[in-house]
Structure 1
Amino acid sequence: MPAVVKTYFDAFNAKDIPGMLACLTDDVAHHVNEGTVREGKEAFEEFCAHMSRCYDETLTDMVILEARDQGRAAAEYVVNGTYLATDAGLPEAQGQTYRLSAGSFFDITDGKISRVTTRYNLSDWIAQVSGADDA
């Protein structure tokens, strides 16, 4: 089961949105850190396109855990990114770099990801891209 999660993250790091989409069920539920739940591959693809415009991110230090008998997996990782274009309601983008601990949680149905929930510390990210001393 976690093979699909590894494939998903490999596609993320390769900037391969079709590869990520291939790992998902058609009715995937995407729970983002801040915002509403997006339903379906089309909404997920739109989110990925938006993120690609605003951020260049690579995930490192990946640890994937699984609860095979419950159809779930989780991953902890570090987001290494560059803020490319200003995202609505967030600080102005000026090519700032950031490094952020994050985690994702997955439901797996018939070998595909049916739920993705991502969590990270938005305040930490804002401090880093704003140049706050405590970042």
Structure 2
Amino acid sequence: MDAKAVITAYYDAFNRGDTDAMLDLMTDDVAHHVNEGKVRRGKALFAEFNAHMTDSYREKLTDIVVFGNADGTRAAAEFTVNGTYLKTDPGLPEAHGQTYVLPAGAFFTLKGGRIDRVTTYYNLADWVAQVSA
């Protein structure tokens, strides 16, 4: 599977809420660079992060565009996050079902056809403004 196909499958799994399918596309020691957070290493920490996100947010990604280099080792994606804030995340505004629409992107490194690094970016100040309005 080429880089674009791997990343497309990753986001298809995300939109289905299928963490196991996302994990199947990753190396065991995947580095997850969280927006505004610490790097999490390994599938277990990625699964823990996804469980927390699923508990606090309901999100669907649209307008997904995936880019990949010729040798299949690097990829990027740009997309729109359409979400609902379900449960207050510590240090963030109080949740009461606010909706948000947020442009976002991610960068990937792949090894052996699997995701070895994912770095996610979105504008946190934009998100805070939307859920605080």
Q: Give runs of ≥4 in structure 1 deviating > 6 Å.
A: none
Q: Is the 8 A contact 2:72 2:113 kept in 1?
A: no
Give 3-state SS (helix, strand or coil) of 1:92's partner.
coil
Report whether the alignment pairs 1:117 with 2:111. Answer: no
Partner of 2:58 in structure 1? Answer: 56
CA distance in 1, matches of 2:117, 2:53: 18
Partner of 2:78 in structure 1? Answer: 76
Count of aligned pairs: 131
Matches within 5 A, 1:6-45: 6-45=8-47
Give 3-state SS (helix, strand or coil) of 1:89's partner.
coil
CA distance in 2, matches of 1:3, 1:24: 13
Give 3-state SS (helix, strand or coil) of 1:69's partner.
coil
Please give the TM-score of this superposition, normalised by the length of structure 2.
Answer: 0.97
Give 3-state SS (helix, strand or coil) of 1:68's partner.
coil
Give 3-state SS (helix, strand or coil) of 1:107's partner.
strand
Q: State the shift of 1:23 in Å.
A: 0.7
Please give the TM-score of this superposition, normalised by the length of structure 1.
Answer: 0.95
**Structure 1: 5+ residue stretches without partners:** none
CA distance in 2, matches of 1:110, 1:14: 25
Q: State the shift of 1:70 in Å.
A: 6.3
The Cα offsets for residues 2-49 of structure 1, whole Å up to 9 and x where unpaired, read as 111111000000000101111110000000111110000000000000
Letter in structure 1 aligned against 2:14: F
**Structure 2: 5+ residue stretches without partners:** none
User: Percent identity between the aligned chains?
Assistant: 61
Root mean square deviation of aligned Cα: 0.8
